[in-house]
Each structure stands twice: as structure tokens, then as C-alpha cells.
Amino acid sequence: MFDRLQKPFLTVETGEAYQPVRVMYNILNKDAMIQALESLKCIQKGSSANSWTWHWEGECADTHFESVDSYVKNLERPLRLGTISIRDDKLYFNFPSFKRACLAVPFFYNVISVDVAQASHADFINKVFGLDERIPHGFSELFKEEELDRILHDRIEEFNKIQEKCELAGSAEEALNILSEYTHSETQKRLPYAERYHFDTDSTKDSDILFLSFYIFLRGRELVAIKRWFGQTGYTLADAMDETFDQVFGGLGVDIIE
């Protein structure tokens, strides 16, 4: 453990922890979606068909990463923030960090109309990596579709059972106790290596709520990964949620990844 505490974890160029995230969109109008992407100065065509790269320039030039103020931009070679591709009529955004995903989702929401493509889910890794640790090759090795679907299905099924128990409770106090016990149990669980976040676009059309929910979900898991890397094995998702809510609602404007 002491050796690990002396080693920093792997970070990306802009300072935040390397934690791969893949965001998938359902394509409703492929031609319009491609046109929207290729109209941006921050998007460059990739080396293969139906692929692009997202760069720190153009419309994204003012994006600020407080985690590494010392980073000096090379205007001739703008930093690549993520990659974009189309496979099987699905649009995939691949990012090397949680912060970049949290910045990208609202940015591209304003670029790609919801009648052209809609965010479906995000797959991500619940750990940080050591500098000399083997990094899985490509997102296909990181994310196993069947496993992610199973984890998401089990979570939804368990929540539905708790919801039913609350509805059948004899009083509001009893229902609150059931929900409180469930929440406590969930936040104490060991997080899976890879996990899936589902964008609930059906229940709300308020984009600010969608983006804030996504940020809070990822931020809590990032905190758990980092705290445990530095030896705080008892740090739970409940602790992370408390810390995140304090930052978000106690002082709006805090950097997403510090």
C-alpha cells in the first residue's frame, strides 16, 4: 500500500484522471447529424470513414480545465479531446476522462438536435490506473455489452422492487425507512469495474437537469476511485455523494474535476 501511495495515477494532458468513457447516441437522421458535426471548427475528419476527432479549438477554444492551469496550448496542433465514430447506425463518443464527457454532452446537445440524434447511455470505468499499469486496448476490450446490460438491468429491477415496497408501506414513515435503508445499502456496495449510465430523456426535457444528473453520477464514482487509490478503503459512494452535493449546491461554479 505504501508503494502505491507514492505513485500518482495516470492522468490525461489536461490534468484529470484517465478514466475512459464511451457515450452512445441513437441516430435518427444520419445525414443531418454528419452535417452538424462537420460544420464545427473543433471537429476534424478521421482517417477512416464515419470517424472524426474533437479538438480543443474553434467553438471549444475557451473550454477551461482548472486541473492543469500550466498546460500550454499548441495552436498549430490543438489537443484532441475525444474521438467520434458511427457503427451499426449508432453514434459513439470516446473520451479519456470523466470531465471531458461531462463537458461534451451539453456541448453537443446544443449542436446536434434531438430529432437528429439522442443520447442513450454512457459506459465508464470505476477505477484509476497506475503509470506502469497495463491499459486495456481499445473500448471494445474495456466494455462488455452483455455485462453492462446485466448490471443496469439488475439495478433497475432492484429499484423497482424497492419502489413497490414503498407503495405498499403502511405509512409515509415506513416508506421513508425502506428507501433510506436501500440508499444506504447501495452506497456501501463495491462498485463494478465497468458500469453504464442511462440518460433518462423520457422523464424530463430539462437539459440542465439531465447534464447535472450525469455529472453527479460520474463525479461520485470518480471520487471513490481516487480516494481508494490513495488508501481510503472505507471511502464509500455515500461519502462521495455528500462531498459532491456540497460542492455543487454549496458553491455553484466549482470545477468539474479538480
User: What pLDDT is attached to residue 86?
Assistant: 93
Q: What is the pLDDT of residues 39-71, one digit of tens each?
A: 999 999 988 889 999 999 999 888 877 665 566
Confidence band, pLDDT 50/70/90 cuts, at residue 141: low
Across residues 150-174, what is the average pLDDT?
A: 70
User: In which region does residue 35 sit, left (phi positive, over 0), alpha (psi from -120 to 50) or beta (all else)?
Assistant: alpha
pLDDT at 210 exceeding the cut of 90: no
* Confidence category of residue 254, pLDDT binned at 50, 70, 90: very low
Instruction: Give one DSSP letter per residue of the chain, joined into a string.
Output: -HHHHTSPBPB-TTSSB---EEEEEEES-HHHHHHHHHT-TTEEE-SSTTEEEEESSGGGTT---GGGTT----TTSPPEEEEEEEETTEEEEEESSHHHHHHHHHHHHTTS-TTTEEEEEEEEESS--BTTSPPPSHHHHH--HHHHHHHHHHHHHHHHHHHHHHHH-SSHHHHHHHHHHHHHHHHHSPPPSEEEEE--TTT---HHHHHHHHHHHHHHHHHHHHHHHTT-TT--HHHHHHHHHHHHHHSTT--S--
CA distance 13 to 6: 21
Instruction: Answer whether residue 197 shows pLDDT above 70.
Output: yes
Provide CB contacts within 8 A for 192, sequence distance 6+: 126, 151
Q: Over 90: is that where the pLDDT of 160 sits? A: no
The domain limits of the chain are: 2-140+196-250
- The CA R_g of the chain, rounded to the nearest whole Å, is 20
Q: What's the average model confidence in pLDDT over 103-123?
A: 91
pLDDT of residue 149: 61
Quote the pLDDT of residue 211. Answer: 86
What confidence tier does 257 reach under pLDDT thresholds 50, 70, 90?
Answer: very low
Of the ranges 109-113, 183-187, 208-212, the best mean pLDDT one: 109-113
Residue 107 CA: distances (Å) to CA of 103, 148, 251, 258: 6, 26, 22, 20
Between 63 and 181, whose confidence is greater? 63
The mean predicted confidence, pLDDT, of the chain is: 79
Q: What is the pLDDT of residue 32?
A: 94
Give me the pLDDT at residue 256, please: 43
Backbone angles phi, psi at 20, to 5 degrees: -60, 140
Distance (Å, whole) CA 212 – CA 203: 15
- Span 228-251, pLDDT tens digits: 888 888 888 888 888 887 776 665
pLDDT given for residue 85 in this prediction: 93
Query: What is the average pLDDT across 184-203?
Result: 71
pLDDT range class, residue 195, cuts 50, 70, 90: confident
Contact criterion met (CB below 8 Å) for 209 and 216: no
